[in-house]
Structure 1
Amino acid sequence: MTANAPDPKVTPAVWGALAIVYVVWGSTYLGIALAVETIPPLLSGAMRFFAAATLLGGFLLARSGREAFRMTRRQFFGAALVGLLLLTFGNGMVAVAEQHISTGLAALLVASVPLWLVVFRFAVRDRPRPLTLAGVLVGLAGVAALSLTGGEAGSSVGIVIILGGSLSWSVGSFLSARIAMPANAFAASAVEMLSGGAGLLVIGLATGERLDLSAISGRSWAGLVYLILVGSLVGFTSFAWLLGHAPISLVSTYAYVNPVVAVALGALVLDEPVTVQVIVGGLIILVGVALVISTERAKRRSAEKDGARARPEQQAVPRTVD
């Protein structure tokens, strides 16, 4: 979807795909926690993205042939750079941080991504609408409320690591809409995953991580397989489809809902504590989601009435392969 395309309508199919992204990407924090129980975090990410890239690339070749991977050198390196920022230094740091903090807290801290994106948009003089900004700030207020449980859920080291990863994630999301990228979104994703996996492998080996297949538990294998098949492939396929069929500000609300899903799954599966702060913070996040959605709906109705086109600011969605 380009900046000059009409604002897409919200259909039942859009809500279905959005529900998949909400639940699947919210559950990846649990999958990561299970995987890193007995697999080194960076090498687990390398295994995940190499496998997902191979499956996705094979599917594209079988369906569309080599034409799907036609891209210039500049586009290839653009996708590779985004892959390093999103997956090596973004997703990889999530896996490292989850050795120190709970899955729920990790997801909530990653919700700082939209704030960074707003800061970057201000830097290039692309100001969001006031209610969009209000939705971001309200959502982050919910994150702040939930982070009050961080003292018992994890450590300051984990918090610093995941905030650094969130910053890298934000830079990658911001650049992906502003640098040369492959025309085929799925081919771009395959390059990103190969690049991100290679970066994780190099850093993992350089920092002393080693893989002992005999030491990997069934739970970790299950978590890794889930991340490959469901988190990366099903989740990203739904996300990529949404980018062309739904308002970007609506798609980006996954950043607020994923933490709620992650907190719930962490409590149910890993017995992570759910406090009053968790409940209150989750409700505040949902208010932020409602503000963003209502603003986007009003904008769409106004565009339909006036015949306006979508604004470039819509391109600042956090683009990621979770």
Structure 2
Amino acid sequence: MNTSSLTHPARTGLSPRLWLCLAATWLIWGSTYLAIKWALVSLPPFLQMGSRFLVAGAALAGWMRWRGVPWPNRREWGHAAVVGALMLGGGMGGTATAEQTVGSGLVVAFIAVMPLLIAGLQLLWGERPARLECLGMACGLAGVLLLTQGQGFEASPAGLVAISVACACWALGSVLSQRVWPLAPGAMGFASEMLAGGAVLMALSLATGETWPQAVAPQAAWAWLYLVVFGSLLGFNAYMVLLAEAPAGLASSYSFVNPVIALLLGVGLAGETITAGEWQAAGVVLVGVVLLLTARARSAGR
């Protein structure tokens, strides 16, 4: 696939399928962080995420089997187990854990560093960043360091550790799914990852002694359902399509749209408080991400 068509859509045209996938990761994922926060009212983090991905994975796998798509083979299940454990077990589990003590807007602002982590990991495969990319990574790192000095993360060292682990796991899983351990083709591969990752999350829930609720508040139930349908079946599958068919920079471009949406929703709907310094730090992170993606677009267009 010609990557220039992905980085210069206005001139050569981006396929409607990829446009929809981008919209899902940009807009839907920006709202899921607040939904995670609301679901935490009744559902602890690992249980919330594990049940979410098991249900979504089972629904997608069932649909694909009904259409005659075969199950992944043993090797592909092994890949799904590793990638699912990293991206869902560590990535999504860590995100939900962080949101217990840190506002959803700050969490997603921290997650904006994801393209910088992915660019760093790509060095292992000989993809050296250009000067503009280095500037973007330095700017993003500076923004994250400023963000961790804000009231939100200073008040919750455990939340800072959780979101740091989540970002590292998600970035590593994303790169490995492209480079080393590809999933089964198409939606069945995504379903296998959700099933494997969901199983890991449920095991973590049991291992950490999470209390499973006897009743779920209506707000938490609706938030959980939103996460299953929109966050997992639509948003997560859209991201995996982008990973498989688009450059890593474009696939991770959600990271500079999500913070804006999440910050606004957190303040407007959840009454979260963001200090002026935290707003500025988030802005520095976003500048770094934009520089990185601009550099990737230029190199792809040559």
Offset at residue 137 of structure 1 (A): 3.0
1:133 aligns with 2:160: no
Q: Which residue of 1 aligns with 2:105?
A: 104
Letter in 1 for 2:139: V
* Partners of 2:115 and 2:249 within 8 A in 1: no
Find the aligned partners of 2:97 and 2:26 in 1 and give their Cα distance: 23
Q: Measure, in 2, the Cα distance between the counterparts of 1:241 and 1:89.
A: 21
Which residue pairs with 2:203 in the alignment? 202
User: Counterpart in 2 of 1:251?
Assistant: 251
Matches within 5 A, 1:93-242: 93-151=94-152, 154-214=155-215, 216-242=216-242
Amino acid at match of 2:78: F
Residue 7 in structure 1 maps to residue 3 in structure 2: yes
**SS at the partner of 1:213?**
coil
Output the CA distance in 1 between the equivalents of 2:88 and 2:28: 17
Contact residue 8 and residue 247 of structure 1 kept, 8 A: no
Matches of 2:28 and 2:271 in 1, distance apart? Answer: 20
Per the alignment, do residues 134 and 250 of structure 1 end up closer, same or farther by CA in structure 2, a change over 3 Å counting?
A: farther
TM-score for both structures, normalised by structure 2: 0.87
For residue 39 of structure 1, report the CA deviation from its aligned partner: 1.1
SS in 1 for 2:180: coil
Alpha-carbon distance between aligned partners in 1 of 2:272 and 2:33, rounded to the nearest angstrom = 13
1:37 corresponds in structure 2 to 41
When residues 56 and 137 of structure 1 are mapped into structure 2, their CA distance, relative to the original with a 3 A threshold, is farther
Q: Which moved more, 1:287-296 or 1:189-198?
A: 287-296
Residue of structure 1 equivalent to 2:54: 50
Q: 1:74 touches 1:180 (CA, 8 Å); kept in 2?
A: no
Give the letter for the 2:26 counterpart: Y
RMSD: 2.4
Deviation at 1:170, TM superposition (A): 2.2
- Give the alignment's TM-score, normalised by structure 1: 0.82
Greater CA drift, 130-139 or 238-247:
238-247
State the number of aligned residues: 294
Overall identity of the aligned pairs, in %: 35
State the 1:213 CA deviation. Answer: 3.3
- Structure 1 distance, partners of 2:69, 2:20, is 31
Q: Distance in 2 between matches of 1:173 and 1:195?
A: 15
Q: Distance in 2 between matches of 1:115 and 1:293?
A: 10
Aligned equivalents of 1:182, 1:244: Cα separation in 2:
9
1:285-296 matches, cutoff 5 A: 285-296=285-296
Determine whether 1:271 maps to 2:271: yes
Alignment partner of 1:262 is 2:266: no
In 1, distance between residues paired with 2:276 and 2:263? 13
Once the 2 structures are TM-superposed, how far is the Cα of residue 245 of structure 1 from its aligned partner?
A: 5.5
* One-letter code aligned to 2:253: T
* Cα separation, partners in 2 of 1:36 and 1:289, compared to 1, 3 Å: same
Deviation at 1:223, TM superposition (A): 1.0
Q: Aligned equivalents of 1:229 and 1:174: distance in 2? A: 25
| Cα distance change on mapping 1:299 and 1:118 into 2, 3 Å | closer
Show structure 1 runs of 5+ residues with no match. Answer: 303-322
Against the structure 1 CA distance between its residues 209 and 269, is the aligned structure 2 distance closer, same or farther, given a 3 Å change threshold?
same
1:157-212 CA deviation, whole Å, 9 max, x = no partner?
11112212222222212221222323413222111111111111112112212322
Per-residue CA deviations over 1:66-113 (Å, capped at 9, x if unaligned) read 33x3x3322210111110111112211111121111111211222333
Q: Take 2:105 and 2:154, find their aligned partners in 1: how far apart are those partners?
A: 9
Q: CA deviation at 1:124?
A: 4.1
**Separation of aligned partners in 2, 1:33 and 1:245:** 31
CA distance in 2, matches of 1:113, 1:294: 15
**Structure 2 CA distance, aligned partners of 1:283 and 1:208?**
38
Q: Which residue of 1 aligns with 2:301?
A: 301
The question of whether the paired residues in 1 share the 8 Å contact of 2:114 and 2:252 is answered with no
Indicate conservation of the 8 Å contact 1:88/1:200, yes or no. yes
SS of match in other structure, 1:93: helix
C-alpha separation between the residues in 1 aligned to 2:202 and 2:153?
Answer: 32
1:253, distance to aligned residue in structure 2 (A) = 1.7
Cα distance 1:283–1:232, how it changes in 2: closer, same or farther (>3 A)?
A: same
Give the 3 Å change call, closer, same or farther, for CA 194–237 of structure 1 in structure 2.
Answer: closer
